[in-house]
Amino acid sequence: MEGQNISDVIERYLKTILADSEHIEIRRSEIANLFDVVPSQINYVIKTRFTIQNGYLVESKRGGGGYIRIEKVNLLDDIDVLNSLIKVIGTSISERDAVSIIQTLYDENVVSRREADLMVVAIDKSTYSISDRQLEDALRANILISLLNRLRYES
């Protein structure tokens, strides 16, 4: 485990549990106690590692009987998930988030290695050769949404 931070360890733990079922329900405080961290650390892991871009739906219920439900989803089998993903992209997306989406598509066998590589080239900042970051992120969003829509109609 040398070289791994606590977020990596918590992520791996949750993914291991998730591998045995279609979804998990956790209590933030219980996981925090298990790893001897503050509950906000669990929030951080969930918000950064279990996103729709990475192929996860997260639902939380607050209060005494509250829980966090994490569900692994197949991005293109469920049209609502794909629509949610497109909504998350919106009119602007960073290169890092776009690559994360493409990685998930590859991990889920939605696209081949070659297709993923081509998608990454299409959204890479060096492809645009412009110095306006807002324009760059807007172009990237348009391209990625177009690619996702094309995949939707082929699947």
> Is the pTM higher than 0.85?
no
Residue 58: strand pairing partners: 70
Domains of the chain: 6-72 (3.30.56.130), 79-154 (1.10.1200)
116, 105 Cβ separation under 8 angstroms: yes
Strand ranges for 45-152 from DSSP E: 56-61, 67-72
Rounded to whole angstroms, the Cα distance separating 138 from 155 reads 26
Other CB atoms within 10 Å distance of the CB of residue 30:
11
30, 76 Cβ separation under 8 angstroms: no
Determine the residue type at 94: S
Residues 2-49 pLDDT 10s: 567 999 999 999 999 998 888 899 988 899 999 999 988 998 999 999
